[in-house]
Amino acid sequence: MSGAVADRRGGLGLAASRRRRRLWVLLLCGLGLGGAAALALTAFQDNLVFFRSPSDIVASAPVDGRAFRLGGLVEAGSVVRDGAEARFRVTDGAHAVSVSYRGVLPDLFREGQGVVTLGKMGPDGAFRASEVLARHDETYMPPEVMDALKRSGHWNPEQGAAPPAAGWNTMQPAGATNGQPARTGG
Amino acid sequence: MDAPPLTSPAPLLHRFANPGRFLRATARIMPWLWGVSLVVLLPSVAWALLFSPADWQQGETVRIMYVHVPMAWLAMAGYAGLAVASVLALVWKHPLADLAARELSPVGAVVTALCLATGSLWGRPMWGTWWAWDARMTSVLVLFFLWVGHAAITRAFEDEERGARMGAILALVGVVNLPIVKFSVDWWNTLHQPASVARLAAPGMHISMLGPLLACAVGFSLLFMTLVLARVRAAVMERRVEALELARAREADRAPAEAVPA
């Protein structure tokens, strides 16, 4: 009887130590793998970005004739449409690059909007785009809220990013469809 | 089954190591799980698709979000679940963990495929392209291949236990991809916008859209769990049937042999 109990304890102790060893092996493998992945991602940093900003291009001039992606915001007041050709400037706040593009612009394209363009640097220092993609920011709001922010002067989408979300994400604009009619003539 | 391991750090989990007990316990909650999933999901989807406002810049297209974002969250949370099941299987040799991992991966693959498909349908009208090789989209595509690879490798071996081991190792190697998916939009510039909800600052989404989004996320998660649990139950029963058939075949083999000396 006592022998059987001791046996069982011994067996459990062995199983527990095996479990502990397997856990350690897993943890060590995980650390090694995580470290290797972090090193690889850091090493390929330059290739993992989807586009380059105007400041990147000022810092290191692009190779002549090599296509790359240029991204940033469409500068307010810079869009000129000339038939099928559109010219605008892409800015990141610090620097701006002139872009020319022939073709259909995406629906979201407007001044102040994020864009990613694919093309080559022309001899005149302007970027000739063969593709323009629109980027949108991470703010989602009903048009009434956006109108209210615009009317109150808190945000002009053509000038840049939306104000901090805490200021508007629970806002109830007057005349909104939430069963609370605007109090008029009460 | 071996004796209840007193030294295990997870004694609760081992209560369900007995497949019979697992089947009995889950049989009672399955109808409830189906009911709650549908009762939560259907009104949430109606709220999101019919009664939530359009977006100021995306218009009605924003409604794709109410499917796309829950699918993306489930693809990642489900994968975290797969990793936990794989650790339980490799370290604690929990008999249900292997089955759970095996039954989780086809559902995870479908959810990730839906995330990619809805993202593509959303990207075409908004960005102007179905697909771009930016860090977010590429890492989610890798996540999809991990799910499919896990589903395939666990079923690729004659010896089921070996397949389960291979699958668990693949699943744990793939965990490296999870932070890459999540933080790709912060670490590198991408076509995909950064997170609106899962971020430190206040959610960049108006409450009239955040409400239906979270409701849909809860509904889809409940349905996901119900589906996986139903699949695990079916797998347990399948193995019981196989064992019974094997026993019967042995019996049939033995019967004529016993008849000879008589």
For position A177, what pLDDT does the model report? 46
Percent with pLDDT over 70 in chain B: 91
pLDDT tens by residue, B60-70: 999 999 999 99
Instruction: Locate A101 and state its tokens.
Output: 């593009």
The answer to which of A106-110, B4-8, B104-108, B122-126 has the lowest mean pLDDT is B4-8
d(Cα B162, Cα B155) in Å, to the nearest integer? 10
pLDDT at A82 > cutoff 50: yes
Q: Burial level of A67, CB count in 10 A (0-12/13-18/19+)?
A: middle
DSSP output for B56-83: TTTBGGGGGHHHHHHHHHHHHHHHHHHH
pLDDT at B189 > cutoff 50: yes
* Rounded average pLDDT over B81-90: 95
* Rounded average pLDDT over B181-203: 88
* Rounded average pLDDT over B108-133: 94
For position B5, what pLDDT does the model report? 46
Question: Are A15 and B206 a contacting pair at CB < 8 A?
Answer: no
Please give the interface size between A and B, counted as residue pairs whose CB atoms are below 8 Å apart: 141
For the question of an ipTM over 0.90, the answer is no
| Mean of per-residue pLDDT scores for chain B | 89
Question: Are B173 and A34 a contacting pair at CB < 8 A?
Answer: no
The verdict on A116 touching B (C-beta cutoff 8 Å) is yes
Question: Are A168 and B206 a contacting pair at CB < 8 A?
Answer: yes
| Beta-carbon contacts of residue A145 (< 8 Å; ≥ 6 apart) | A168, A171, A173, B56, B206
pLDDT at A5 > cutoff 60: no
pLDDT tens by residue, B136-169: 999 999 999 999 999 999 999 989 899 999 999 9
Scan residues 45-104 of A and list those with Cβ closer than 8 Å to B. 45, 48-51, 53, 71
**What type of residue sits at position B194?**
P
pLDDT at B92 > cutoff 60: yes
Percent with pLDDT over 90 in chain A: 23
pLDDT tens by residue, A128-160: 999 999 988 888 998 888 888 888 888 887 777
Question: Are B209 and A140 a contacting pair at CB < 8 A?
Answer: yes
d(Cα A160, Cα A111) in Å, to the nearest integer? 9
The answer to which of B207-216, B227-236, B248-257 has the lowest mean pLDDT is B248-257
HEC readout, A5-60: HHHHHHHHHHHHHHHHHHHHHHHHHHHHHHHHHHHHHHHCHHHHCCCECHHHHHHC
The verdict on A169 touching B (C-beta cutoff 8 Å) is yes
pLDDT tens by residue, B11-53: 556 666 778 888 998 999 999 999 999 999 999 999 999 999 9
d(Cα B129, Cα A130) in Å, to the nearest integer? 13
The verdict on A15 touching B (C-beta cutoff 8 Å) is yes
Q: Which helix (H) or strand (E) holds B178?
A: helix B177-187
Instruction: Locate B227 and state its tokens.
Output: 């589906």
The structure's pTM equals: 0.86
Is the CB of residue A112 less than 8 Å from the CB of residue A76?
yes
Q: Select the residue of B65, B128, B202 nearest A134 (Cβ to Cβ).
A: B128
Contacts of B124 in chain A (CB under 8 A): none
For position A172, what pLDDT does the model report? 81
Alpha-carbon distance B13 to nearest alpha carbon in chain A (angstroms) = 15
More reliable by pLDDT, B203 or B147: B147
Sign of torsion, CA B202 B206 B208 B211? negative
For position A174, what pLDDT does the model report? 61
For position B6, what pLDDT does the model report? 44
* Rounded average pLDDT over B189-204: 87
Instruction: Read off the pLDDT band of A83 (50, 70, 90).
Output: confident
The verdict on A138 touching B (C-beta cutoff 8 Å) is yes
pLDDT tens by residue, A41-74: 888 887 888 999 999 888 888 877 788 999 999 9
Q: How many CB atoms lie within 10 A of CB B71?
A: 22
Contacts of A49 in chain B (CB under 8 A): 135, 188-189
The verdict on A4 touching B (C-beta cutoff 8 Å) is no
What residues pair up with A132 in beta bridges, in sequence order?
A: A117
Candidates B90, B138, B189: best to mutate against A (most CBs of A within 10 A) is: B189
Is the CB of residue A56 less than 8 Å from the CB of residue A120?
no
Candidates A8, A26, A104, A138: best to mutate against B (most CBs of B within 10 A) is: A138
For position A19, what pLDDT does the model report? 86
d(Cα B40, Cα B225) in Å, to the nearest integer? 13
pLDDT at B259 > cutoff 70: no
